[in-house]
Structure 1
Amino acid sequence: MRRVVITGMGAVTPAGLSVDSLWESARLGRPHFTPLSNYFDPKDVGVKLVSAIEDWDPAAFGIGKKDARRMDRYCQFALAAAKQAMADAGSLSDLDPYRVGVIIGSGIGGCDTIQEEHRKMLEKGPGKVSVFFVPMMIANMAPGTVAMEFGYKGANFAAVTACASGTTAIGEAFHAIKNNYLDAALAGGAEATISLLPIAGFDNMKTLCTGEDPNRLSIPFDKERGGFVIGEGSGILVLEELEHAKARGAKIYAEVVGYGATADAYHMTSPDPEGKGTAKAMEFALSEAGVAPEAVDYINAHGTSTHLNDLVETAAIKRVFGEHAYRLAVSSTKSVTGHMLGAAGGVEAILTAKALQEGILPPTANLEVPDEECDLDYIPKMAREKQAVYALSNSLGFGGQNAALLLKHWEE
C-alpha cells in the first residue's frame, strides 16, 4: 500500500478566487453573501441572499470566449480551479498520462444549461436547442474537460453523491493511488446552482435560509439557524504518490491517510436520525489509517445550518469519539462559503489541509447562540491556534450519502 499526499490545490469560491484568499476568509470568519436579485428577480422565492461568485470572468483563468461558451458555469469553475492546482503542484510530465486520473464530483452538473435550453425549447421549439446542450449539461464533462486540458488519460469520472460528491471524488482518487492504479490525480468538486430552477426546488423543500441579516445567515450549530445559504464554485486538489512527490521536490500540504463512505439507506433527503451511517464513515476512515479516535484533533464538519443535519452530525461525532468528542475541535466553514453542494467537499478538504499546514483551526463564523442539543466545541467566531495532527473532513448528501476523509499534518 502506497502513501498519498496533497501537492497542489486550487479554488474558485464566493469567499475567494484562490486558495490564499479563500483561506484568509475562512481564517477570519468572513462570509460573503450577495443579493439574489443581482442574478434574477427573486419575487417568487423566499431566498434573499446567496453565496455566489460575483463578476465571474473565465478569461481571467485562461479560458477563451469560444471555449467558455461551450462550457456550463460549473465546468468553467472546475477548469479554473484545476489550472490553479496544477500551477501550484508543478510538473507531472514525467508520469505516464494513463497513470494520472481526473475525478471531479458534482451533485447536479450543468444546471444553468438545463434551465436555459429548456427555456429556448419552450419559447422557440426543439430546433433551437443547442447542439452543445448534452455535453454542457452532463456531470462528467468537468473531469473530461480538465483531462483534455492537461492530457491526462487515466481513470476519469464524476462522483455524483449529492453534497458528498467532492469528498467522494477525493476519496476514490486516494484509493486509486494507494492501491497502485494511479500515480497522481486531480480530484475535487464543482457546482453552479445560482439559478431559479434549483433554488426554487430547495426553497420549496424549506431547506434554504430566508433571512436578510448577513451576519445571521449561515450559522451552523447555532440555536437560531434556519437553513443553508446556497453557494457555488470549485475546489480541486492534486493527489500524488509520496515517493514521486518527494523525488521531484514537491511541497506537501498534508497526507491523506483514510477514507470512509457509507449509505444511510434511510430516507430520500433526511439523514438517519441516530447518525449511524455518518459515524460509520468516520470509523472506516480511522480504521484504514490505523488511528485511534483520541488522536483526532479537529473535524471540518458538514455543518449545513439545517436543524436536522447539525443534530445528526453532532450525534455521530459523539458515537465515534465518546468522551473525546468534547475535547476535539469542530467547525463548519460553510459559515463562510455557504453550502457549495457537490463542490463543498473539495473546498473543505482544502481548508482542512490548510488548517493542518498553518496550525490554525478556522472558526464557525457568527456562531453566537449556543444550542443545548449541539454541545461540542464548534470554535465559535474566532480562529484558534492549534497544531492539529489528524483532522477529519465530513460530507453528507441526499440519498443518504456519507463520506469522510482523514488527513494528517505533514512533517519530513
Structure 2
Amino acid sequence: MAVISLHRPKLTFWQIWNMSFGFLGIQFGFALQNANVSRIFQTLGAQIDDISILWLAAPCTGLLVQPIIGYLSDRTWHPWWGRRRPFFFAGAILASLALILMPQSSTLLMAALILWVLDASINISMEPFRAFVGDKLPGSQRTAGFAMQTFFIGLGAVVASLLPYIFTNVFKIPNTAPERVIPLSVRYSFYVGGLVYIVAVMWTVFSTKEFPPENIDTWEEEKLRTKGLWKGIAEIARGFGTMPITMRQLALVQFFTWIAFFSMWIYTSPAVAQNAYGTTDPTTHAFQTAGDWVGVMFMVYNGVSALMAFVLPVVAGRLGRRFTHMICLLIGGASLVSVLLIHTPWVLLVPMVGIGLAWASTLTMPYAILAGALPSHKMGFYMGVFNFFVVIPQILAAWLLGHIVKWIFHNQSIYALVVGGFSMMIGGVLNLIVQDKDELK
C-alpha cells in the first residue's frame, strides 16, 4: 500500500508567495466585476430595482460551481498537473475570455449572460485555491497562507478598481459614450484585466508543485466508489448533514457577512451617484464620474485589505482568530452604515478603511479557522460546501434588496448599504459562538 506522510513541511516565504500569486489575477477579474457591472447594467438601460436580479447570475453560479469543483478537485490527481492546478488553468482561460467579452455587451441580456460565464469561470479557479492552502501548508502556516492570498486579493483589486479612473484621468480616455454604449475607459480596463488574470494564474500553475494524496491506494478506491456526477451531487447534499460543528458555527457568521458585501457591490455605484453626485441618469458625465470614483473607493478598501493581510495574523496570535474577526466585522459594519451620512466624494474614502479591515479578515480568518477543523482528504469538498453560506445570502439579497429599495426606501439605494452594515455587525457578534479547534489544542 502506497502511503504518503500526513506531515507537511514548512514552506519558505517565496514558496507561499508563488502558490498564492494566482489570486492576483483572480481578484483582478473579481474587482472589475464588482466595481463596474452595476454601472454596465445601468448604462445598458437597467432600472435601479432590476440591478439586484441581474446580479443573480453571480451567486447562482457560485452555488452550483464551487462545491462541484471542490468535489472534483479532491478526486483529481496527475503526476505533473497535480490536484488543483488543472482547475486553475481551465478557469483562467475561460475567465480571461469572459473579461474581454463583457465590455462588448450591447444588450442587458448579453451582459447578464457574460456575467454568468465570468463568475462561473472565476469560481473554477478560485475554489481550488482555498483548498490549496490546506493541501500544502501545515496548521502552523495556514493563517499565513490565507493572509498571503488576502494580500494578493487586495493588491489585484487595488489596481483593477482604479483602472477606469486611471484611463480617464491619466490617459484621457473618455468615460462617457452614446446612450447604451459602454465607455472606452471601462472597455480598456476589462481588456487589461483579461491579460493580467491569465498571466498571474499561470505563474502559480507553472511555479508550484503539489503533494500527492496521503494514501494513494485508499484514495483511488474512494474515487472509484464515488465516481460520477450524480454521486457527487448526492455526496454534496449529504455534506450539509456531516459538517463539523465549527463549520456550522462559521456558516452563520458568513451568512450575515456576505449579505453586507453583496449589498455593497450591487448598490455602491448608484448610491454614490445619487447621494454624492446628485444624479441617477447613466448618460450624464456626473454619473460616469461617480462610477470612476467608486473604483477609487474600492481601491482604498482593497488596499487596506492587502496591508492588513500581514497585520491580522499577528493580532490573531494575541487575541485569537474569533475575536479578531469579530472586531473587524463590527468596525466594517459601522463604516458601511456611515456612508449614509457622507455627501462629499473624498470623505467617502474614510469608511472604506474600516470596510477594508473587515474584508481582509473575511478572506483570512474564517478559512484559517475552518481548515483546522476539516479532514485533509475532503478539504476541497468541504470548502465547496462552505461556499454555500457565501452564495445563499447573496441570492437572498439579490431577490429581496431590489424590492426593499423600491418599496420601502423609495429608490434611495444608499439604504441598501445601511442594511448591509447592520447585517455585518450581526455577523461580527456571532463569532462568539465559534469554536476554533486550533486554539483549543
Please report the TM-score for the alignment, with normalisation by the length of structure 2. 0.30
Larger helix proportion, structure 1 or 2? 2
Larger strand proportion, structure 1 or 2? 1
Q: Comparing both chains, which one has the higher relative contact order based on Cα–Cα distances under 8 Å and sequence gaps of 6 or more?
A: 2
Larger Cα Rg: Structure 1 or Structure 2? 2
